[in-house]
Amino acid sequence: MQTPAPVEYERAASVDDAIALLERHGPEARLIAGGHSLLPMMKLRLARPDVLIDINDLAEELAYVRIDGDDLCIGAMTRHRELLESPVAGEHYRILHDAERVIADPVVRNRGTVGGSICQADPSEDLSAVFATLGARAVIRSSSGTRVVAMDDFHLGAYTTAVGPAEILLEVRVPIRTGCGSAYEKVERRAGDWAVVAVGALVCLDGDRITDAGVGLAAVGAEHFRSPAAEEILRGAEPSEATFDAAAVAASADCDPQSDQRGPADYKRHLAGELTRRALRRATARARGQEG
């Protein structure tokens, strides 16, 4: 089978140790957590880091899903399965479970991490769209301190994030809202495949008025995995089919899908709208407590 090129290996004992190792080894060092994005690239020899810094021992520090103040906090080393099975995650944001259920496959989810997925920043990556939907913030640390960036500032483009060469993502913080529902809709060619298109929706209701909304888009080239135009339509509107249709039209215009073997651009654009409509319906039903 394919094999990685020679590489050095270090194991970080703590977050600070990981940062120190990154600084010592320079920009050709890479953190490795679950390894399910990086190792296949290394086997293809498309990624050739000089040094791998294994941060799996940081799980005690960085694997958690918990409430901290007004935020739901998800540690970067949280494995996908842990997030999928986290009651507190599901209690606040069903979208997290919707998405985790369709990320890769169960065995990969045992190993792959939340932080690894969003730092890979694949344009089809599900959690990036989920966190964009939820208006989450990323907490990033370097030797000079900790900074918090909004998701819009976290995603800088395909495979590029705000996490610098000597920085480490600590956690993702999602503001807890009341009266909200969320949902994730994904079309894939087959179970475990990357999204053809996926859409996340957040709907916060005050009676018959949408007070806040999020629409996240994966795999359609949406800037920062979001559709601000759709969100704009939703805010303040009635949660009706007409509103959802308008948001769907906006979302499908608010992206730049590329044709590939998962489908032609026109189909993806159609899906962006169709899945937006579906995700909004489900999110709204959940906000109203109408869907279990």
| Residue ranges that bind another protein, judged by CB under 8 A | 1-9, 11, 32, 35-36, 39-40, 42-45, 52, 54, 56, 104-108, 110-111, 187, 189-194, 196, 259-264, 267, 270-271, 274-275, 278
- Our CB check for another protein shows the closer of 34 and 216 to be 34
Residues 173, 68 contacting (CB under 8 angstroms): yes
C-alpha atoms less than 13 angstroms from C-alpha of 92 in its C-beta half-sphere: 19
C-alpha atoms less than 13 angstroms from C-alpha of 199 in its C-beta half-sphere: 29
- Our CB check for another protein shows the closer of 140 and 219 to be 219
Residues 227, 203 contacting (CB under 8 angstroms): no
- Our CB check for another protein shows the closer of 173 and 277 to be 277
Closest Cα to residue 52, out of 14, 20, 15, 22?
22
Give the dihedral of Cα atoms 138, 183, 117, 120; nearest 10 deg: -80
CA 59 to chain centre: 19
- Our CB check for another protein shows the closer of 82 and 171 to be 82
CA 56, 28, 123, 42 dihedral sign is: negative
Give the Cα separation of 56 and 43 in Å (integer). Answer: 20
- Our CB check for another protein shows the closer of 135 and 216 to be 216
Q: How far is CA 134 from CA 58, 76, 165, 177, 244, in A?
A: 26, 17, 26, 10, 18
- Our CB check for another protein shows the closer of 44 and 253 to be 44
- Type of residue numbered 45: R
- Our CB check for another protein shows the closer of 157 and 192 to be 192
Tell the smallest beta-carbon distance from residue 57 to another protein (Å): 9
Tell the smallest beta-carbon distance from residue 206 to another protein (Å): 30
Tell the smallest beta-carbon distance from residue 149 to another protein (Å): 29
Tell the smallest beta-carbon distance from residue 204 to another protein (Å): 25
Name the token pair of 128: 């990036």
Tell the smallest beta-carbon distance from residue 147 to another protein (Å): 29
Give the Cα separation of 118 and 125 in Å (integer). Answer: 7
Identify the three-state secondary structure at position 73.
Answer: strand
Tell the smallest beta-carbon distance from residue 21 to another protein (Å): 14
Tell the smallest beta-carbon distance from residue 82 to another protein (Å): 11
